Structure 1
Amino acid sequence: MNASPPCSSFDIDDMQWRWPGRAVIKRLLDRPQWWMGLLRRYWPIARVPFTRWAMVTRFEHVREVLAQEQVFQVPFDRRMMELMAGPKFVLAMQDGPEYRRQRLQIMQAFRLEDVAATIAPRSAELAEQIVAGCSGRIDAIEDLLTRVPTLLCRDYYGIDVPDPKLFAQWTIAVSTYVFGPPSDKPGPKVATARAAANGMRPLIDQAIRNAKQGVNPSPTIVARLVAMQKQSAGDPSDDMIRAELFGMLAGFVPTNTIASGNVLEMLLRRPEFMASAQEAARTDDDELLWRCLFETMRFKPINPGPFRECAKDYTIADGSSKAKRIRAGTRLLVSTQSAMFDERRVVEPKKFRPDRRNHEYMLFGYGLHWCIGAFLAGAQITQTLKPLLKKRGLRRAPGRDGQMQTIGLMPAHLSVEFDP
């Protein structure tokens, strides 16, 4: 790899959308249900004329596409390799022995018992400290919803983060680039994303060295991966540990930021959502609070749905009146957001129902690439929002500060106020 550029070469604002029509696209994505409903009804498998793109919007078709992982493949490997040479990370892999081996390693490092032992209590502690010290006004995105998962990168992952704000911006730049619309060539933001990756890499490598030297004996993720290496004759290798940490970090801070940021935005838009969530928070009913937040997220999820690339010709909804032949090489937006509002499969989709059945959700994906860190995300988001939701008079700050500001689709700033 080339030497890392100086940090001054990185500016998160370079990740902003600057192409014509961006404001219209943002508005369409912010309130999409009217046009998604039209697609579900009339063109549920819609090919975009004169392009290699298609969009899938009905529940059963979305589920079919995501279940056919060998046909409709994840397209992230090219961009991931542009930023981090070495072994592929599971998010960029298809099913097979290597995928299953690496996923097992990750599940052995990220343990379910960590939720109660580390993630929930540490998230709660950090969030309570931040909210208590903000004197009735806070930039809820930058100073709370992004900061807490960033600090967990130190406390839970085992990565020394000298500058939490900059580190968070690095992960956001990497995630925005890697998981954006697929392309055959480097995207226009590759230089910024590469600078971000070059900032993350030395911190990951130092964490691996520290774990090998026993500098931090606590049960962090990097310490567990190094312990596996010692017990298994060098497997996973240092390169694999680096790839796994890089991939999980690039998913953790950005995904939890956009998820919790969008939830807060919807709570502020919909007073009935806010009332239910605040009641659960004030009664310390964490399970109900998570159900309220999860249902709120359905109305504004992290994205319209995952991207996929068709590896061979395939007919979606074969044998039905909506059957559509998808040619090899076609890129698809598989809209899980639309699917969760499909009245053919989802009960009262337009209603806010925290008791909704789990199978009606696709917020963590579906099939092979269902979110590997879902249980961590749920606990972290719940405990981070909880102390804020307990506050009386929670409201937007006046003026522009009280409106969601984004980098692309990623929440960046949203100031709120509450009664002391």
Structure 2
Amino acid sequence: MGDYLSRIEAVPAVQRWGLVRDWIFTEPLPFFAEIRRERPVLVLPELTLAFRHADCMTILRRHHSFGVDLYKPKQGDYFMAQDDTAVHWREKSIMKSVLDREDIPAIRAWVGQATKAALDAGGGEIEAVRAITRGIPAGLVQRWFGFTDADPDRLIEWSYWNQQDAFWNQPFDAGFTRDPDGIVANRKRASLMLGLYLARLIARRTVAVKLGSDATDPVTRLLKLAFSDACRFDVKNVLFNIGGLLIGATETTSHTVTNALEYLLGNPDLLASARAAATLPDPALFDGHVDEALRFRPAFPYYFRTCHVPTVLAPETPHAVAVAPGTNVLAVSHSAMFDAAGFPDPEAFMPGRDQSDSFTYGQGIHACLGIAVAKVMVPEIVRQLVLREGLTAVSPPDYRGGRVPEAWQLRYR
């Protein structure tokens, strides 16, 4: 038995999740290597955790067997808190339609220009979280999603508290999260303020639509759809879904950009290779460096689901475990991306690697709604940063005791 498993079994069962959780965040790769080999499905009192690629795919792709029950108390009737329902099917389809993929090149160009302008304004030193990693996606929400008159600081705040509660304040986080009740209260307050803002925005856009507006932002297009009675999608649905655009875009982008850049800065040879790729005429040739950096340092090391149907994980192996309905499970996707069964030669940093089976943007019906936008916004922000000569971190990102970067001072020439 390996060192990690020995240490797990040496403590009372109620203390084991604390150990495992700490290793997931502080020494993931050696821990994952041992656990995939010796106990790829780990049963704890609070959770069952899966560490191999195939089992993580099973959990995330079989939405009838493993559902998003834990999102419901946080997100209510929003379609992402539902599995394969009519509402989910319809509203995700609508939202994909209004996020025109034809706009992706223009979005990338805007992100590049906005990031460059922020760095120019910094004059050689910048607090990157507010100005860049949160500031640029908040600006994108204003410019491309129709929140033109919004206060960017409020947009950031509303996204932050909703994501804090949904992703980092679950029952299995009890005892590890500071002031969980305070997070819930802040999420409710943020949601109320966001709702008030959106109600005013919708009222203004409704007048514009009635007067024949030819605007093409998602807010206007969703209102036109709602007023057309073409499908079961009314103004309340508009409010929920445009709020979801904001919440999903800002905080996740911040964490993802920070992780990718920090990993590159910590590996000078990779940074030099990424910088060389960043100077090429086709920016897409740079993107694989960010994809691989995020495989090594994902923003979310796991995804959580609740078992609905009796399921055997690691079937037909000596490690098979039967998971009963009602069990909360973690698909430890960071580990899965280092399983050679899914990623050949996983320890190698390979910018040209096929990322189809990656978990960076999720898998299954709950994969990132805005993946097409995210897959240009994230690498373009990182590209603009690595292009700056002499880019260094003054200190590591400041997490302020939580799980997301709150501040990060960078210097450059």
Q: What TM-score, normalized by structure 2, do the two folds share? A: 0.88
State which of 397, 408, 413 in structure 2 corresponds to 1:414: 408
With over 3 angstroms needed to count, the CA separation of the structure-2 counterparts of 1:61 and 1:26, relative to structure 1, is closer
Aligned 1:7-406 pairs, distance under 5 A: 28-48=24-44, 51-74=45-68, 75-81=70-76, 88-117=77-106, 119-160=107-148, 162-180=150-168, 182-183=170-171, 187-188=180-181, 189-214=183-208, 217-232=214-229, 235-397=232-394, 402-406=395-399
Q: Give SS of 1:354's match.
A: coil
Whether the aligned pair in 1 keeps the contact of 2:115 and 2:384 (CA below 8 Å) is yes
With over 3 angstroms needed to count, the CA separation of the structure-2 counterparts of 1:107 and 1:162, relative to structure 1, is closer
Whether the aligned pair in 2 keeps the contact of 1:298 and 1:340 (CA below 8 Å) is yes
With over 3 angstroms needed to count, the CA separation of the structure-2 counterparts of 1:141 and 1:30, relative to structure 1, is farther
Aligned counterparts of 2:150 and 2:366: Cα–Cα separation in 1: 32
With over 3 angstroms needed to count, the CA separation of the structure-2 counterparts of 1:122 and 1:182, relative to structure 1, is same
Whether the aligned pair in 2 keeps the contact of 1:228 and 1:235 (CA below 8 Å) is no
Give the counterpart letter for 2:140 in structure 1: L
Whether the aligned pair in 2 keeps the contact of 1:127 and 1:385 (CA below 8 Å) is no
Whether the aligned pair in 2 keeps the contact of 1:312 and 1:327 (CA below 8 Å) is yes
- Deviation track 1:154-186 (CA, whole Å, cap 9, x = no partner) reads 111112454312320221111110123533999
Aligned counterparts of 2:389 and 2:18: Cα–Cα separation in 1: 36
With over 3 angstroms needed to count, the CA separation of the structure-2 counterparts of 1:276 and 1:257, relative to structure 1, is same
Aligned counterparts of 1:181 and 1:139: Cα–Cα separation in 2: 27
Query: Could you say which residue in structure 2 is the equivalent of 1:11?
Result: none
| Residue 264 (structure 1) shift | 1.1
Give the counterpart letter for 1:43 in structure 2: R
Whether the aligned pair in 1 keeps the contact of 2:260 and 2:382 (CA below 8 Å) is no
| Residue 281 (structure 1) shift | 1.4
| Residue 230 (structure 1) shift | 2.3
Aligned counterparts of 1:265 and 1:23: Cα–Cα separation in 2: 25
Structure 2: tracts of 5 or more residues without a match: 1-16
Aligned counterparts of 2:242 and 2:75: Cα–Cα separation in 1: 13
Whether the aligned pair in 1 keeps the contact of 2:67 and 2:305 (CA below 8 Å) is yes
Whether the aligned pair in 1 keeps the contact of 2:155 and 2:246 (CA below 8 Å) is no
Aligned counterparts of 2:91 and 2:105: Cα–Cα separation in 1: 25
Aligned counterparts of 1:52 and 1:200: Cα–Cα separation in 2: 33
Number of equivalences: 386
| Residue 253 (structure 1) shift | 0.4
Q: Give SS of 2:356's match.
A: helix
Aligned counterparts of 1:382 and 1:108: Cα–Cα separation in 2: 23
Q: Give SS of 2:405's match.
A: strand
| Residue 99 (structure 1) shift | 1.6
Give the counterpart letter for 2:264 in structure 1: L
| Residue 323 (structure 1) shift | 1.3
Aligned counterparts of 2:103 and 2:343: Cα–Cα separation in 1: 33
With over 3 angstroms needed to count, the CA separation of the structure-2 counterparts of 1:90 and 1:327, relative to structure 1, is same
Aligned counterparts of 1:274 and 1:378: Cα–Cα separation in 2: 19
Whether the aligned pair in 2 keeps the contact of 1:80 and 1:92 (CA below 8 Å) is yes
Whether the aligned pair in 1 keeps the contact of 2:138 and 2:250 (CA below 8 Å) is yes
Aligned counterparts of 2:42 and 2:269: Cα–Cα separation in 1: 34
Aligned counterparts of 2:18 and 2:48: Cα–Cα separation in 1: 20
| Residue 24 (structure 1) shift | 10
Aligned counterparts of 2:59 and 2:396: Cα–Cα separation in 1: 36
| Residue 64 (structure 1) shift | 1.4
- Deviation track 1:337-374 (CA, whole Å, cap 9, x = no partner) reads 11000123321111110011223422111112121211
Judge which range, 161-170 or 57-66, deviates more.
Answer: 161-170
Coordinate RMSD, CA, aligned: 2.3
Structure 1: tracts of 5 or more residues without a match: 1-20, 82-87
Give the counterpart letter for 2:40 in structure 1: P
